[in-house]
Amino acid sequence: MIPPCSARFFISLACISCSSWLSAALPDEQTDQQADHQAEALVKKISPNTYQIGKVILNKETREISMPAHTNITDPKTIIEYLLVHYNGEKIHESLLTTEADPTHINIAFKLLNYQESLELFRERKADGSISDQYTVVAEDIKKAARFSVYITWKDDSTEKTIPVTQWVYNQASKKNMPATPWIYNGSYIYEKKFDAKLSGSIITIIPNIGAIANYSGDDRDDDNLWSPSANTPEEGTPVKVTLKPWLAVP
């Protein structure tokens, strides 16, 4: 039997320090005891249901994850491939938004709130390491637990507004904003004891990237000349709050 949400949260919290992806994000010279202490200190309780990991806030009841960010590329004529990257990331020149939140902390939040990694958007590898034509088969319950929505909150003059981030992403072919579509948590990967999302700064991407923490699931995701900021995107550098929520609509 699956434990209730609160129980799953504390089970996950107890397992943080022994996870390989967290170990990959910590300095190599740390002892196991130091790594355990740092892992325990990462998650701070700030209210009965709310916890903080660095700049990331998570709610164990609503399963929402939020973090501060800024608008980055806002010119409607500029093609974007990423939704959110770290402000020192490799893909800052292709991203709608940037954040100072650590990709490792964001990944911890996903895991603590029991989002499940799904690789359904990526093709399987053959025995020789080459990419096959077959997409990874993922169970329906895992798919459901991997899906989330992205909302943006910002101040327009003195008025606070919140909208789905898809209203800031424009499809150059259809001449419409991105449709309401779930984003899929895939969790990035570890290579040579390094967490790739931490190295690259890639957090949420529109064009498929297994190294990012999450990906856009639309059927038009492979076209890297399709997306640009919507004309109503606030000017570059505007402070915003990014909130990730469980996907509730029918996929």
Residue 18 has what pLDDT? 46
Cα 15 to Cα 19, 111, 119, 153, distances in angstroms: 7, 10, 23, 32
Determine how many CB atoms are found less than 10 A away from the CB of residue 63: 20
CA dihedral 125, 129, 132, 136 (to 10 degrees): 0
DSSP for residue 163: E
Per residue in 115-143, pLDDT tens?
999 998 887 777 776 676 787 888 999 99
The amino acid sitting at 176 is: K
Per residue in 149-166, pLDDT tens?
999 999 998 899 999 999
Q: What gap in Å lies between CA 120 and CA 123, rounded to an integer?
A: 8
The three-class DSSP label of residue 25 is helix
The answer on pLDDT for 31 being more than 60 is no
Per residue in 220-250, pLDDT tens?
888 889 999 999 999 999 999 999 999 986 4
Alpha helices in the chain, H assignment, sequence order:
5-14, 20-25, 32-42, 103-112, 140-146, 196-200
Q: What is the mean pLDDT of residues 204-232?
A: 95
- Average pLDDT of the residues of the chain: 87
Q: What is the mean pLDDT of residues 76-84?
A: 98
- Ranges 29-33, 162-166, 192-196: which has the least confidence: 29-33
Of residues 71 and 14, which shows the higher confidence score? 71
What is this structure's pTM? 0.85
Give burial (CB, 10 Å; 0-12/13-18/19+) of 85: buried
CA dihedral 211, 202, 95, 129 (to 10 degrees): -20
Write out the two tokens for 45: 């309780």
Q: What gap in Å lies between CA 165 and CA 149, rounded to an integer?
A: 8
Q: Which residue ranges make up each domain of the chain?
A: 67-123+133-246
The amino acid sitting at 120 is: E
The answer on pLDDT for 66 being more than 80 is yes
The answer on pLDDT for 43 being more than 80 is yes
Which residues fall within 8 angstroms of residue 222, CB to CB, at 6 or more apart? 207, 208
